[in-house]
Amino acid sequence: MKKVLRLALVLALFGLIGSTFNSTAQAVTVPAEKTLWTQHFSSKAGTKVDPKFWSYDLGNGMGWGNLEQQYYTNKTANIAMDGRGRLVINAIKLNPEDPKDQYITNWCIDCKYSSAKIVTRGKLGFKYGSISARIQTPAGTGMWPAFWMLGVPRSTCDGWPSCGEIDIIEARGSQPYHSVASLHGPDYSGGNALSDYYFSGNTPLTAGFHIYRVDWLQNSIKFYVDGNLVGSHTKSSIAPNSWVFNAEFYLILNLATGGNFDGGALDETIQQASLKVDWIKYTTHKGKGTLIRHN
């Protein structure tokens, strides 16, 4: 009888321990990230971007400092929705003999293409969070698509590169199997940027759509392609260079042609090249992220 009582006591004790363990080992629930802003381009063909969020940078690409050879317009031929759920930026070869192109080629003799560049500057700002877009980039030597960000001038900086640049994706048209993500700041800008490269393997990135993303926190930035980590940078990892990314930035989407990025080469036999954007999304990341509205 005593052995039976001792066994019952041991079993009861183990049951109590197991119950206590189970009650304290409950799964921790991670709150879902919050969507702060999205862009879907589902309007009819020829629709322009929403002026509440976007404005156009216009003019000669040579003026951007990279020896680019495009002229940016706001014409629907160069940028509009395609009626199939995409925003399309077209780089179109200029014809000096065509009256509709002569207003460009008469004074911008180095401009070889018309194209488009849109920005959220003065309309929307972003600070931390996760920013992604589903994009198909164009092939062709000299084609230079980009989805990127610039820091807003503030008391500690007055422009580029001191206010910072975050390149979520750039691509060289001559290298369709890889994309580039970069950080620019004081003493690490232009050709000295902190760049990370993604290689797609056997299928060129230009063959389809891919999701390009940045996860951005205070003192930390990570780049991804289709969920694959491409590069990671922190305030301590770039020291002694200055970390200039704990501030408001705005978004930019453009298709340049020629310029320094693709080695100055440009295949002028290309009559048209297209950058296609399925959607853009901005969410919190680990609970952080602020959408700043200026209008």
pLDDT band for position 28 (cuts 50, 70, 90): low
Mean pLDDT of 194-220: 98
Tell me 247's DSSP state: S
Does the pLDDT value for residue 107 go beyond 80? yes
Q: Which residue has the tokens 């192109």?
A: 101
Distance separating alpha carbons of residues 31 and 169, to the nearest angstrom = 28
pLDDT in tens, 30-71: 668 999 999 999 999 999 999 999 999 999 866 667 899 999
Distance separating alpha carbons of residues 136 and 145, to the nearest angstrom = 9
Is 165 labeled as catalytic in the residue annotation?
Answer: yes
Per DSSP, the three-state class of 219 is: coil
Catalytic residue among 68, 165, 248, 268: 165
Distance separating alpha carbons of residues 255 and 73, to the nearest angstrom = 11
pLDDT band for position 26 (cuts 50, 70, 90): low
Give 293's strand partners: 124
Distance separating alpha carbons of residues 83 and 178, to the nearest angstrom = 29
Query: For residues 118 and 39, is the Cβ–Cβ distance under 8 A?
Result: no
pLDDT of residue 2: 44
Burial class (CB in 10 A: 0-12, 13-18, 19+), 166: buried
Quote the strand ranges of 193-265, DSSP E.
Answer: 194-199, 210-217, 220-225, 228-234, 249-257
pLDDT of residue 7: 46
Residue 170 vs residues 179, 196, 278: alpha-carbon distances, Å = 6, 11, 17
Query: For residues 235 and 247, is the Cβ–Cβ distance under 8 A?
Result: no
Q: Which CATH number fits domain 33-293: 3.40.630.30, 3.40.50.1110, 2.60.120.200, 1.20.1250.20?
A: 2.60.120.200
H or E segment to which residue 52 belongs: none
pLDDT in tens, 110-146: 999 999 999 999 999 999 999 999 999 999 999 999 9
Does the pLDDT value for residue 241 go beyond 50? yes
Residue 75 vs residues 84, 105, 282: alpha-carbon distances, Å = 19, 17, 27
- From the list 137, 175, 139, the residue with the least C-alpha distance to 278 is 137
Q: Sort strands 143-151 and 249-257 into parallel, antiparallel or unpaired.
A: antiparallel
Does the pLDDT value for residue 18 go beyond 60? no
pLDDT above 70 as % of the chain: 88
Mean pLDDT of 7-20: 44
pLDDT of residue 295: 80
Catalytic residue among 33, 68, 97, 170: 170
pLDDT in tens, 252-276: 999 999 999 999 999 999 999 999 9
- The tokens for 6 are 């001792």
- The tokens for 280 are 């853009």
Give 274's strand partners: 90
Q: Is the dihedral of CA 258, 259, 261, 264 positive or negative?
A: positive
